[in-house]
């Protein structure tokens, strides 16, 4: 007997990319779209929060240091909202591991990566956290 119901449907996954650097957003978009993933961009935490409230996403990709609202604050707000709190999040920073990683996890990140993230690395993490079979 086999049980198979949670099998994911072939719907495109949606990722919200939040980074104040245009080039970085373009870079992530290129990698993710190549993997058949829909990308929405936001250029700071506040805009990210607004976009996350307006639509549902399968994954958040969040920078730390941003104007208006930083990544920590944005993730804390997401995690406190019962409708959005379950969305997996990857935090990406230029700082090495250590305190920053700790702070990222405390704020609500599920994975902490250090820039620059290699394309295959980003893709593997994103797909894993969204339940896409490798």
CB of 120 to other proteins, least distance (A): 5
54 vs 133 by CB, closer to other proteins = 133
The least CB distance from residue 122 to other proteins, in Å, is 9
34 binds other proteins (CB under 8 A): no
Site string for other proteins, 83-102 (x = CB under 8 A): --xxxxx----x-xxxx-x-
d(CA 52, CA 95): 25
Contact status: 131 vs other proteins (CB under 8 A): yes
User: At its nearest, how many Å lie between other proteins and the CB of residue 37?
Assistant: 14
Please list, in sequence order, all residues whose beta carbon lies within 8 angstroms of the beta carbon of residue 60, skipping any fewer than 6 positions away. 15, 16, 18, 48, 52, 75, 78, 87, 88, 89, 90
Q: How far apart are CA 31 and CA 34, in angstroms?
A: 5
């Amino acid at each position: 007997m086999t049980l198979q119901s949670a099998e994911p449907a072939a719907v495109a996954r949606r990722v919200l990319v939040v980074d104040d650097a245009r080039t970085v957003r373009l870079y992530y978009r290129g990698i993710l779209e190549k993997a058949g993933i829909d990308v929405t961009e936001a250029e700071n935490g506040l805009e990210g929060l607004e976009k996350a409230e307006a639509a549902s996403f399968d994954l958040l990709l969040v920078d730390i240091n941003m104007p208006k609202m930083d990544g920590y604050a944005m993730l804390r707000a997401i995690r406190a909202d019962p409708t959005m709190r379950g969305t997996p999040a990857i935090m990406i920073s230029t700082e090495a591991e250590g305190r920053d990683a700790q702070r990222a996890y405390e704020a609500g990140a599920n994975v902490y990566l250090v820039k620059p993230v290699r394309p295959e690395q980003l893709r593997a993490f994103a797909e894993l956290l969204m339940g896409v079979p490798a």
